[in-house]
Amino acid sequence: MIIETQLTPDDNVINFFAPEPLLRSGTAEFADTKSLRKSPLAEKLFDLGGIASLFISNDMVSVTKEENIPWDMLKPQIMAEIMDYLSTGEDVLVETSDNTPEDEIIGQIKGLLNARIRPAVKKDGGDIEFKYFKDGIVYVEMQGSCKGCPYAMVTLKEGVEKILKDYIPAIKEVRNIQTPE
């Protein structure tokens, strides 16, 4: 079993690609102890120490480490935990009834934004911030050099919206909102 890795523009984030599906559908983000109860794999990874957050999709675990922890120590441990967990055949997510379906969707949106979209937007000197989700529409704010950029709408519709809709069928549209300065 081989786990492939991918560096991201953020030095504190590495994507780990599993050789088999991790989730049946959707995505999951883990950034606090309450959310960890939903995933034994997330618990095991956080138990390693030095991990700030996790984002899990069907084929990937995106790990954000704490600033002061070197990857050369953490990366092999993460790979070993993922391989060990996959060998058990257990589901990565455990069903809980704490969250509403909308809470789940918002968690998935935030996870995708942090793992897949923000690193690309940051490369161009910008950022994107989740504002809220209502009636199938995701409201975000483009920031930095992306704010007012003539290509921001292209990025939003052909990049951000496409990725979110591909992973989360409940999303109908993504809209940029501007906060007054």
Is residue 24 within 8 A of residue 69, CB to CB? The reply is: no
| Residue carrying the six token digits 């809209």 | 175
The residue with greater pLDDT, 136 or 1, is 136
Please tell me the predicted confidence (pLDDT) of residue 99: 62
Q: Which helix (H) or strand (E) holds 64?
A: strand 60-65
Q: What is the CATH code for 101-176?
A: 3.30.300.130
Please state which of the four CATH numbers 3.60.15.10, 3.30.1370.70, 3.40.50.2300, 3.30.70.20 is assigned to the domain occupying 4-88. Answer: 3.30.1370.70
List for the chain the helix, strand, coil content (%; round to 5). 40, 25, 35
- Kindly list the domain boundaries of the chain, sorted by start residue: 4-88, 101-176
What does the pLDDT read at residue 98?
59
**Would you place residue 96 in the very low, low, confident or very high pLDDT band (cuts 50, 70, 90)?**
low
Q: Which amino acid is at 46?
A: F
